[in-house]
Structure 1
Amino acid sequence: MQRVPSSLLSDFSLSRIAFGLWRLTDWNYSPCERLSLFEQMLDLGVTTFDLADIYGDYRCEQSFGEALKLKPELRARMEIVSKCSIRLAGAASGARINHYDTSAEHVRGAVETSLRDMGVEQMDLLLLHRPDPLMDADALAGVLEQLVAEGKVKHLGVSNFLPHQVDLLQSRLSLPLVANQIEVSLLHSQPLFDGQLDHCQQHRIIPMAWSPFAGGRLFTGEDTDSARVRSALQALCKTRGLSEENGTMQLALSWLLKHPSQMVPVLGSGNPQRLVAALAALEMELDREEWFELLRAGRGRDVD
């Protein structure tokens, strides 16, 4: 499979499509079944596994670790991505209300808990899950660089950060931020116009695209925007001789993959057949007019 290399660090790259595990505990797979799914993804070249401390009410990383423990040698074939900075109210976090926390104490504790839950010594990429309005950039940069120096984190990035928020944190770091995971899809194309993807290109930051199918709305949404995009995808399927079931998914991914920022879509399905079908998007190439045709459907208007 193709890979997306970092232009900032010679030893860092992600698979062209990442495997999102935010629903891992919802799939009700046994540890052996989880392991089998992980092996299938690795064999297909999907080596980037995307997690976060809060996923599955703080249980997904434990479930991931239970499976990996059955065959620890798979760790060498993976890039493990995890996130922290969101604290959800409840016993698992000890928080009274949902809030963000980028304090040095919380970030260190979250990283060390994630490593323990996953049963690994280092995560390949740590992302700050959401920007924190109370972020102390100096203190945060200090703990992030300590975690890298200690070998607990290999590389650093952010998630859902706007360009000025990325710049603030980067101004305090001696290490580069190599990724920003943001929401992008045919139904959420704002990052193409609000500076987020321009900023990624400018600073050679890899954008990871979460919710590339708009949370499933592309396929099942009953709202006007979803229906309009689905109709455009179906029409393009007919033109290209693709089945609607898989073709709409493949075309929606191909639309993201064409962007010159080298977006890495994060797919979160527990169905191996669907994941295999999705990977066919890597062999597709939309021409410029097809791409803008889908953009028009997503935005509900033509370009000016």
Structure 2
Amino acid sequence: MDRIQLSPELELSRLVYGLWRIGDDADTSPKHVQAKVEACLAQGITTMDNADIYGGYTAEAIFGAALKASPSLRGKIEIITKCGIVAPSGRHSAVRGKHYDTSAEHINASVETSLRDMATDYVDLLLIHRPDPFMDPDETGPALDALVASGKVRAVGVSNFRPYDFSLLQSSMESQLLTNQIEISLLATDAFTNGDLAYLQERAIAPMAWSPLGGGSLFKPENAALIEVLERIAVEQGLDATAVAVAWLLAHPANILPVLGTNNPYRIKKIGDATKVAIDRQTWFELYTAAIGKPVP
């Protein structure tokens, strides 16, 4: 499995295992979660993507229970988590409505809870989950810097930020924002043309892609024309169409890191197949054309 060097201090596996739905599984026992992690490690997938809000603020504790049961796992993986979304659920059930909080107080409290719930002394990468229209960069930026300096967080980044949001936060920081986790897939292609990827490429910042399979919508009947192309390429290469869809992202020169989440043991074991697919320029554009439903101009 290839690895991407985000900074001299931090590298991640090219494919990332997403824990968004870990709480939806019928079995959330430490043993079952450990089996998922081990299946990822067997393929060289060492990076685990979490967030405080996942599972109604339960996913970090579910994952942490597995780390408590098998402490040796922590040294084999990189943990990503996110903060900043406050929704009336779980420990925030008393709030009046969903909102964002990028205050120093909230970020610090969230990190302390994440460390406790995931049974770890540090998080490898902390992301601000959503751009906050009420953000004070002169408060948020130094709060992130202080967490890096403390060692509780090895590195920081953002998620769902537009280039101007990214620049605003970075302008108040000493630490470098190392990634932006955004939606990119054959069903969400805007980042290729709206400046989101270009901004990151210009700065040699590797993006992460959430929902690289369109949140499970990619293989619905309404995408029949795209599915036909995916399946033809899959047959030609002796793999499956899911691997082709992920490989399409891997082929892009921006060094995209797809985040793939599934609770199905068989599918977990097949995540790494995406690295076996060959996508040349013409194949990339064939898929892109099928995705947007028209030839490029």
Question: Normalising to structure 1: TM-score of the pair?
Answer: 0.94
Pairing 1:198–2:195 present: no
Q: Could you give the per-residue CA deviations for residues 194-250 of structure 1, whole angstroms, max 9, x where no partner exists?
A: 11111111112121100000011112x233xx2221122123234x153xxx51101
| Partner secondary structure for residue 303 of structure 1 | coil
Task: Map Cα deviations across residues 136-163 of structure 1 (whole Å, 9 max, x no partner).
Answer: 0000011111111111111000000001
Amino acid at match of 1:4: I
Partner of 1:269: 262
Separation in 2 of the partners of 1:139 and 1:254? Answer: 39
* Distance in 1 between residues matched to 2:84 and 2:280, nearest whole Å: 40
Q: Are positions 1:21 and 2:16 aligned together?
A: no
Pairing 1:1-304 to 2, within 5 Å after superposition: 1-6=1-6, 9-29=7-27, 30-93=29-92, 94-219=94-219, 221-223=220-222, 226-238=223-235, 240=236, 242=238, 247-304=240-297
CA distance in 2, matches of 1:176, 1:149: 12
Q: Is this contact kept in 1: 2:57–2:89, CA < 8 A?
A: no
| Amino acid in the other structure paired with 1:17 | L
Number of aligned residues: 295
Shift of 1:257: 0.3
Does the CA contact (< 8 Å) of 1:20 and 1:267 recur in 2? yes
Aligned mates of 1:74, 1:287 — CA distance in 2: 37
Name the aligned partner's letter for residue 12 of structure 1: L
Deviations 1:9-51 (A, max 9, x none): 2121110100000110111222111112212212221100000
The answer as to whether partners of 2:56 and 2:90 remain within 8 angstroms in 1 is no
Amino acid at match of 1:263: I
Give the secondary structure class of the aligned counterpart of 1:178.
strand
Q: Is the 8 A contact 2:49 2:80 kept in 1?
A: yes
Q: 1:181 to 1:287 in 2, by over 3 A?
A: same
Over 3 Å counting, the alpha-carbon distance change for 1:290 and 1:154 in structure 2 is same
Q: Cα deviation per residue 1:251-274 (whole Å; 9 max; x = unaligned)?
A: 101100001010000010122321
Say if 1:176 and 1:241 are closer, same or farther in 2 by CA, change over 3 A: closer
Asked if structure 2 preserves the Cα contact closer than 8 Å seen for 1:229 and 1:298, the reply is yes
Measure how far apart 1:88 and its partner are: 0.8
CA distance in 2, matches of 1:193, 1:241: 29
- What secondary structure is seen at the aligned counterpart in 1 of 2:154? strand
1:127 aligned counterpart, secondary structure: strand
Unaligned runs of 5+ in 2: none
When residues 196 and 228 of structure 1 are mapped into structure 2, their CA distance, relative to the original with a 3 A threshold, is: same
Instruction: Give the aligned residue type for 1:32.
Output: K
**What letter corresponds to residue 228 of structure 2 in structure 1?**
S
1:127 and 1:27 mapped to 2: Cα distance? 25
User: What secondary structure, in the 3-state scheme, does the structure 1 residue paired with 2:289 have?
Assistant: helix
- Please tell me whether the aligned partners of residues 126 and 157 of structure 1 are also in contact (alpha carbons under 8 angstroms): yes
Distance 2:51 2:90 in 1: 17
CA contact (8 A) 1:184 1:191 kept: yes
Partner Cα distance (1:148, 1:137) in 2: 16
Identity of aligned residues (%): 44
CA RMSD of aligned residues (A): 1.2
Whole-angstrom distance in 1 between the partners of 2:237 and 2:254: 29
CA distance in 2, matches of 1:114, 1:52: 9
